[in-house]
Structure 1
């Protein structure tokens, strides 16, 4: 069911899709409808409650399926007016104080949740009441079943790509860098998005809405929503991320150029560019509490680095379970440094505590680590003191709750010196970064962006490269403090203000409106 007469799978920004490819997209939608059902005539109502963890920190309301049998249409304006939040930060804008803003997202790894938290944080700082709308949160719907199926396929591919070199080189890398890049891929997604419309029925059509993946943005447009921003995550232009009918936000100038020209999205022809008013360069999507504390956090890092304190390494293990062998090697190298008091090792396994069990079994020294599992209050207390002095030695963090699992990295980032991460969404964060091997070709350009700004290393693809860089950090701490300098320079130019701008773009308040 499409909310208007425009067939967004047939013509994309004035570029007509070949008949055979269009028919393939239509057949793909029909296949999913047969497999997961077509609930176009089903009525889904919503309710809202305080979100775990980020409800307290960011004032986030969580949109959930209404109780079975409920026929009450959700009144978002009334719920927002009654919400116990209004931001008191310096960025608050009086005309939006207490008004709702919806963050549309999906649970696919941690990346899209993390970007959603940045958008919600910025919205809260600006005075909005942020609503968390996870398209995977409606288990009876065709929408959630379809996304879960595709997420499972992607997670499986990520894991296999890190274990089978031939699969990675011949299939996974090309799919992630070129397959998802094709305009015809967007055609298929636009057809699938037509199956996602029913769960949007209770949302006001004119509420500001920021989608942190193309599917929530596409579905919102198909549902007739009028103030949709599509916050594109990747620095490598791919048609996968297009949601015509929305305003597209990108994090970097190079992404702006590539998306504007639909670069390489059809190898057989020069495509018409995206029209004026459909694409905006906003900057990196970063949480307000991180952006507003950049100077203080960089000063604390310099004090530790030049004061002879252990260098703090935060290692984030992906939810898909990819890269475990590489992570194990990094940890094995860091453990002796931590035991000698030369480094602090912080390992966050997110909501996969079983990953920690496997690591601890393969690296016996981890049995002596201080574990912090499923106690978010303990983490809050651990980082509440200036400089977080109790973060020494080896620590492990993990949480069953997905909100705690993702947001825990936000708390730890402010108190770490080096974030060890693949060049995905974390590549854009204002913390010194050691970039390890990507999972999927599209991530490569995240590391390129960080290396060019200077707030992170170039992509280190092999274990010996990574450990050599860690040794260099240990011997010459100016390598890390230099990244702090570059972070402050970038911040002075508004590089990390993308989340604020995406929110204001959805509300019609940026740019120049």
Structure 2
């Protein structure tokens, strides 16, 4: 296996765990004897109506008359997977920008091939990631001494990139039917490593976090980042060596660019309209609207319950309204439902996607009262409901994840992994969100100000509009432009 990243050596000792897991999963799931799937495209459930999104799937499960070839003139591949919700939410933003540019976005989810060794391996690792995220929210010892390090220091060194690359052969098998020069936007490094190993030549690695981690580096691709600090960190491979003198070479300038924040066209193009509605609701004394968005690992149930209890009085007096998107987490909703019941908090349930969309359209310029819970079986709907709701809410309450970069006023609760901390730093410095409120007292003081006063919320609206005019939220557009230029050069 290659022992270097951009010419910087990594000791074999650092790579042993990656090699071990590569051999373990390949043997466990029979990679050496499997036949790679043949690919086709079909309209994506939900996403086709929104963005003309096409889903990449196996030919054998699709009737011949319903199969669609890849459009090599107008197509852009969106490589993603569920590892939390963030990677898929970024892919949705790119799909939106691609549609706006008149292109055909193809949704290539590596978990859409559940019978392959790659699909089984990713599902197994997703299980452990979700479990670690949830345990971190209940055990301070585990969080401080294990999870914070796993999600930062362990992923920061160059060896993390090569450990990911150890499984590239397994992932590459999924790309066998994709033309070598087909534009591919990878929102997870495992996708990028598979694409490079499969010989794809026009791939952009879309980096999700604001904290530079070698985990996201995929040599052989171009890296798109969201902020100047992230650009500097990756360009210089800052703190990614095993020692202070461990880095001899930087990432080439041609392999990285600052795109801006990855945000949907529908959100960016309506920023002033949405902020005007927020200010109008403040002026008219309407209930302050808070959106709680559950992450893909479902780790924040008890925090949501505490916030609901804290806001109960304001909700009953009509001073606040609460929207809770539980994603597709039925099991986590069962826990939260019990907490709401014990607290005497009534709620309205929304589980039908079409009715959810109609409800959001109704409250856009109308009134909203009480507590509303959203739970959808379909994964796409589970993720995209937050994107729809953030436009009609006043404040998004979230951990500092991929949502840190969206143009909506944000109240940040405690992170789930140290790598997320820099998302809150970026947002607070851009002026569109709070700093991370790790302590309960800090969280509830800030929540009170956002509920009863107007100055802080108005400040965030002002900066969101300024940022929009400066192009800070144009990252998805810029990635589409960049990869199209790359295809034209070829």
> Is 1:328 aligned with 2:305?
yes
Partners of 2:202 and 2:487 within 8 A in 1:
no
Classify 1:366/1:379 alpha carbon distance in 2 versus 1 (closer, same or farther; 3 Å): farther
Query: Which of 8, 27, 30 lines up with 1:15 in the alignment?
Result: 8
Aligned to 2:462: 485
1:307-318 map, 5 Å: 307-318=284-295
How far the C-alpha of 1:192 sits from its partner, in A, is 1.1
Query: Which of 350, 354, 358 lines up with 1:372 in the alignment?
Result: 350
Give unmatched runs, 5+ long, in structure 2. Answer: none
Partners of 1:315 and 1:419 within 8 A in 2:
yes
> Is 1:405 aligned with 2:382?
yes
How far the C-alpha of 1:68 sits from its partner, in A, is 5.6
Give unmatched runs, 5+ long, in structure 1. Answer: 1-6, 82-95
> Is 1:387 aligned with 2:369?
no
SS in structure 2 at match of 1:163: coil
Aligned to 1:46: 39
SS in structure 1 at match of 2:477: helix
Partners of 1:29 and 1:192 within 8 A in 2:
yes
Aligned to 1:249: 224
Classify 1:509/1:482 alpha carbon distance in 2 versus 1 (closer, same or farther; 3 Å): farther
> Is 1:435 aligned with 2:412?
yes
Aligned to 1:148: 123
Q: Which stretch of structure 1 is more off in the superposition, 363-372 or 131-140?
A: 363-372
Aligned to 2:423: 446
> Is 1:110 aligned with 2:85?
yes
Aligned to 1:224: 199
Query: Which of 157, 179, 190 lines up with 1:182 in the alignment?
Result: 157
Aligned to 2:21: 28
How far the C-alpha of 1:313 sits from its partner, in A, is 0.1
> Is 1:191 aligned with 2:169?
no
Classify 1:474/1:22 alpha carbon distance in 2 versus 1 (closer, same or farther; 3 Å): closer
SS in structure 2 at match of 1:368: coil
For residues 423 and 309 of structure 2, the distance between their equivalents in structure 1, rounded to whole angstroms, comes to 26
Classify 1:24/1:161 alpha carbon distance in 2 versus 1 (closer, same or farther; 3 Å): closer
With structure 1 as the length reference, what TM-score do the two structures score? Answer: 0.91
Aligned to 2:322: 345
> Is 1:55 aligned with 2:48?
yes
Partners of 2:183 and 2:487 within 8 A in 1:
no
Classify 1:37/1:395 alpha carbon distance in 2 versus 1 (closer, same or farther; 3 Å): same
Query: Which of 124, 130, 141 lines up with 2:99 in the alignment?
Result: 124
Classify 1:259/1:289 alpha carbon distance in 2 versus 1 (closer, same or farther; 3 Å): same
For residues 378 and 508 of structure 1, the distance between their equivalents in structure 2, rounded to whole angstroms, comes to 40
Q: Give CA deviations for 1:190-221 in whole Å, capped at 9, x if unaligned.
A: 11122111111111111111011111111111
What CA RMSD, in Å, does the superposition of the two structures yield over aligned residues?
2.2
Aligned length: 487
SS in structure 2 at match of 1:482: helix
SS in structure 1 at match of 2:60: coil
How far the C-alpha of 1:353 sits from its partner, in A, is 3.0
